[in-house]
Amino acid sequence: MHIRSALSLAVLLTLPLPALADTTIVDEDFESYNNNTDLLGAWPSQSGLNNGLELVDANTVIPGTDGADFLEVQRTNPAGIPAWQAAYGPDQQKYPGIDGQAAQFCGTLDAATCSPTGAGTVNLWNGNPLIDVYPTATQNVELSFDLGDDALSANKRLTLGLRSLAPVENIIEMGLYNDPTGFVYRAQLFFTGGESNPNWVSFGDATKVDNPLDPALDTQEEVGAGFHTFKAVIGLDQIVFSLDLYADGVKNDPTNPVPGVGTPGVDASDTVFIETTFAGFEDLRIGIPSSLPSSGGSNPHAAFAAFDNILLKLVDIPLVTSVPEPATTSLVLLAVFGLFTARRR
């Protein structure tokens, strides 16, 4: 009996270990909310003022010549206005490519644009389940979302963030910033691994990014209005950041940037070798980074961005399989033979 048990154990030790299953923590598409009150129940304002976030959809527009909007003023002096913007007629769709409902954050403190008491903060995930995640040797933390940009200003500070609160560590933020301008990421208060913590890196910076945006398609003006997918795959000792312009799953042709036309992949990616601290992640937020309103707080052009399809998951790291060595194969055969012999007895 003891021999049979030992041989059974030998067989088990030669078999591959079962993998953990991918686990979705947050899957937020904003379709379940009937009104802003419902939205703010799941995404309350950090300050409790609850007035920096609202639902938007395909009917949300930029007022044209029939409204007292800044675009109306710009049309009287069209010099320097991008072609896509100058082509706006009355009441043009604000976020082309929007999928159902999204959440729009107002990031300035201008009373004519946002409430001066609510915009200078962030809105925090308060849904079910609450967040307590960290990477392991078998699973990465994967965060992705679509950001809607009306492309009316390069002076925005509007991001989605993930971090630990107690202590404040492992700060990840992705979205729009104004220094440097455009599409950015940062990772702060991590353990330093193979390199220092990156602070506001533009996806178009060829000196810092492994696979940067093409220089002909790396600004908001060049890209135009639409939704773009940001993603961070967080491991124990590295983070892979990526940006997919137009959220279309392809690397777009910069000479003719048509959404959905290009080669499969992303438009930019960068791997950062830093280590997640033991605190992990427990706080998911949308809004302004580090309490810094867009454009110093007074520019309505820089006020808005929309957030959609926020996904936070634990994802299995693929196991590396190999052909068993001859000695291992022999051990398995011997064990099976031993089990068969023991059974006959």
Indicate the residue type of 326.
Answer: P
> Can you give the pLDDT at residue 84?
37
Q: Are residues 122 and 238 in the same domain?
A: yes
Q: Are residues 309 and 340 in the same domain?
A: no
Q: Are strands 158-165 and 250-252 parallel, antiparallel or unpaired?
A: unpaired
**Is the CB of residue 31 less than 8 Å from the CB of residue 100?**
yes
Question: Phi and psi at residue 128, in whole multiples of 5°?
Answer: -115, 125
In a domain, 158, yes or no: yes
Q: Are residues 339 and 304 in the same domain?
A: no
Domain of 204, CATH number, reads 2.60.120.200
Q: Are residues 171 and 308 in the same domain?
A: yes
In a domain, 309, yes or no: yes
Q: Give the burial string for 290-312 (b: 16+ CB within 10 Å, else e).
A: eebbbbebebbbbbbbbbbbbbb
- The alpha helices in the chain, defined as continuous H runs, are 2-14, 36-42, 70-75, 83-86, 220-223, 326-344
**Residue 168 CB partners (closer than 8 Å, separation 6+):** 189
In tens, the pLDDT along 56-67 reads 888 877 654 333
> Can you give the pLDDT at residue 198?
95
- Give the domain range for residue 28: 21-60+95-316
Residue 316: beta bridge partners? 139
Q: Is 73 helix (H, G, I), strand (E, B) or coil?
A: helix
Task: In whole angstroms, give the CA distance from residue 167 to residue 162.
Answer: 13
> Can you give the pLDDT at residue 332?
47
> The tokens 């950090």 sit on which residue?
46
> Can you give the pLDDT at residue 114?
64
Q: Are residues 161 and 287 in the same domain?
A: yes
In a domain, 82, yes or no: no
Positions in the chain short of pLDDT 50? 1-18, 64-90, 332, 336-337, 339-340, 342-344
> The tokens 């129940």 sit on which residue?
41
CB neighbourhood size of 165 (10 A): 12
Q: Are residues 104 and 221 in the same domain?
A: yes
Task: In whole angstroms, give the CA distance from residue 218 to residue 203.
Answer: 8
In a domain, 198, yes or no: yes
In a domain, 56, yes or no: yes
> Can you give the pLDDT at residue 83?
40
Q: Are residues 279 and 328 in the same domain?
A: no
Q: Are residues 288 and 338 in the same domain?
A: no
Q: Are residues 202 and 310 in the same domain?
A: yes
In a domain, 15, yes or no: no
CA–CA distance from 203 to each of 148, 153, 206, 217 (Å)?
17, 17, 8, 11
Q: Is 96 helix (H, G, I), strand (E, B) or coil?
A: coil
The model carries a pTM of 0.81
Q: Are residues 269 and 309 in the same domain?
A: yes
Domain count, the chain: 2
> Can you give the pLDDT at residue 63?
53
In a domain, 16, yes or no: no
Q: Are residues 101 and 225 in the same domain?
A: yes
**Residue 136 CB partners (closer than 8 Å, separation 6+):** 236
> Can you give the pLDDT at residue 207?
96
In a domain, 72, yes or no: no
Q: Are residues 160 and 201 in the same domain?
A: yes
**Is the CB of residue 189 less than 8 Å from the CB of residue 325?**
no
Q: Are strands 158-165 and 191-192 parallel, antiparallel or unpaired?
A: unpaired
Residue 113: name the closest of 66, 177, 69 by CA.
Answer: 69
> Can you give the pLDDT at residue 269?
99
Strands in the chain per DSSP E = 23-28, 53-56, 61-62, 92-93, 102-106, 122-124, 139-149, 158-165, 168-178, 181-188, 191-192, 201-202, 226-234, 239-244, 250-252, 262-264, 268-272, 274-275, 283-287, 304-316
Torsion over CA: 321, 323, 329, 331 (sign):
negative
**Is the CB of residue 177 less than 8 Å from the CB of residue 340?**
no
Torsion over CA: 40, 41, 47, 50 (sign):
positive
